[in-house]
Amino acid sequence: MSAPATSRFAQFKLVLLGESAVGKSSIVHRFVKNTFDELRESTIGAAFLTQTITIPETDTTIKFEIWDTAGQERYKSLAPMYYRNANAALCVYDITSRVSFNRAQDWIKELRKQAPEGIVIALVGNKSDLSDNREVELSEVEEYVEQYNSEATGGGSTIIIAECSAKTGDGVLEVFNRIGRALPVEEAINAAGGRARQAGGRRAGGVDLNRPRAQAQQGGSCC
């Protein structure tokens, strides 16, 4: 099934960050290929995938360039390369691990300090199917975000909160849809008129009628 043709197209870079083994790659594979492996090999360095979504209300196709990263702490020295020019960041934690939630908070702090202004941040708790072993309550995540938003200086956008399960697929697509709606599509399309990159270092795609067709075909069975 190819996506319905839309009149607008924009491309955004999204980076996944978070403690190792929280399920970053699994979320991406659920989103891109709709598959899940109980055991997935640890990601070394980075992995790159793309997927497009359509947002019917605004008649827009959004192509995500997904930069999936390795979770181990020492890879942090490579992280600036990942989130440079990123339009969105998915900070993932495992709802059964408090440590991983703390780590996700560290990432948010770092992003607020280092990442491009206006980056859309989503704080996502994975493994919602394991809620029997839950260590992180949604209410405390809300509390954290509320406090964070009130402390944040400047007009940074608010953090999107969500829970999902890459295993069952629950909530995964929704996360990306919500990010897609929060992304500055207008701005990107306008900026793309002349050149594809904005002064602030953010990059965005252009309006191209040929493109969604080509992408939709690639999205299904990405090599």
Partner 1 sequence: MATTQSTNSEEAPITPKKSSMLLDPNEYNKSDNAANSHQRNDSSYSRNFSLIDMYGEEAASSPTGPDSNDHGSTSDEQLDYQMLQSLDEFSFGEISTDHNVSQQTITQIRDTPTPQPPQHDEDDDDEDRLEIRQQYVIPTSMGNETKILNSPFDRYGFRKSSTHHGFTLEEYNDWFKEYSEYSYRRKKKWELLMKSHGLPIQEDDPVPTRFPPKSDKVKKMIRKGIPPEWRGNAWFFYAGGYDKLNRNAGVYHQIVENTKNIHNKDTEVIERDLHRTFPDNIYFNESIDANGNTLTVPLHSKETPLIKSLRRVLIAFAHYQPQIGYCQSLNFLAGLLLLFMEEERAFWMLVILTERIIPKVHSADLEGVHTDQGVLMLCVKEYIPQLWSILGTTFEGERLSDDQILSKLPPVTLVTSSWFMSLFVGIMPTETTLRIWDILWCEGSKTVFRFSLTILKLCLDNPEFDGAKHSPGGEADQIELFQFVQNFPKKILDCSNLVDLCFKKIGGYGFGSLSQDEINKCREFVSKQREMMNYKRRLSTKMTSEERYTLMNSSDGQLDGNNDIHDVYGFHRPIMGGVVWNRSISNKMKKTFAKRNSSRSST
Q: Is 72 in the site for partner 1 (CB under 8 A)?
A: yes
Least CB distance from residue 153 to partner 1, whole Å?
Answer: 20
With residues binned 3-state (H G I as helix, E B as strand, rest as coil), the percentages for the chain, rounded to 5, are: 40, 20, 40
Chain centroid to Cα 19, Å, comes to 15
| Distance between CA atoms of residues 201 and 198, nearest Å | 6
Closest CA to 104 of 61, 54, 159, 25: 159
> Which one of 82, 93, 101, 144 is in contact with partner 1 (CB under 8 A)?
82
Q: Which stretch binds partner 1 (CB under 8 A): 73-81, 118-126, 144-152, 167-175?
A: 73-81
DSSP state letters, 135-158? -S-HHHHHHHHHHHHHH--SSPPP
| Distance between CA atoms of residues 169 and 210, nearest Å | 30
Q: Which stretch binds partner 1 (CB under 8 A): 54-62, 139-147, 156-164, 200-208?
A: 200-208
* Residue 130 vs 186, nearer CB to partner 1: 130
Q: Which residues bind partner 1 (CB under 8 A)?
A: 13, 20-21, 33, 35, 37-50, 65, 67, 70-72, 74-75, 77-78, 81-82, 84-85, 196-197, 201, 203, 206, 208, 210-211, 214, 222-223
